[in-house]
Amino acid sequence: MLGRKQKPISATLAQRMQRIAATPAFAPERVAVQTFGKRAIRADAWRPGTISFQTGERMDVVVKNISDTGARIEFVRSTYLPDRVKLTAQGTSRWAYVTWQTWAVAGLQFVGESKV
């Protein structure tokens, strides 16, 4: 305004970034509850993972939720997934069938037992 000196934009932005960095991260814990139906209880995961195709190609994914029987994954590039993929995330490596896919989101059904 008139007669007032304003701080440079870079100083204001730096102060704002420091305030954001000092604020502790808060992620509410959501508990999966199964109320009815056949679906297994899914736990929110939000962890990085990799899917491998039988051809040897790999693709980075984000595991949105996971259960003993399957997982929901999301990936950056919109591509058609083959029928069977191998999901590797946080020490778990399991083969799975792609049961559904919409753009860059897919549902997997695990095959066999878990291998750590």
Domains (range + CATH), the chain: 43-110 (2.40.10.220)
Query: Rounded to an integer, what distance in angstroms lies between the CA atom of residue 44 and that of residue 32?
Result: 8
Residue-averaged pLDDT of the chain: 81
**Tens digit of pLDDT for each residue in 31-66?**
445 555 666 778 888 899 999 999 999 999 999 999
User: Which of the residue ranges 8-12, 43-47, 81-85 would you say has the lowest mean pLDDT?
Assistant: 8-12
pLDDT of residue 8: 63
Decide if pLDDT at 78 tops 70: yes
CA distance 86 to 77: 18
* Measured distance CA(77)–CA(59) in Å, rounded: 9
Kindly list the distances between the CA atom of residue 70 and the CA atoms of 7, 19, 54, 85, in Å, as whole numbers in the listed order. Answer: 54, 40, 19, 12
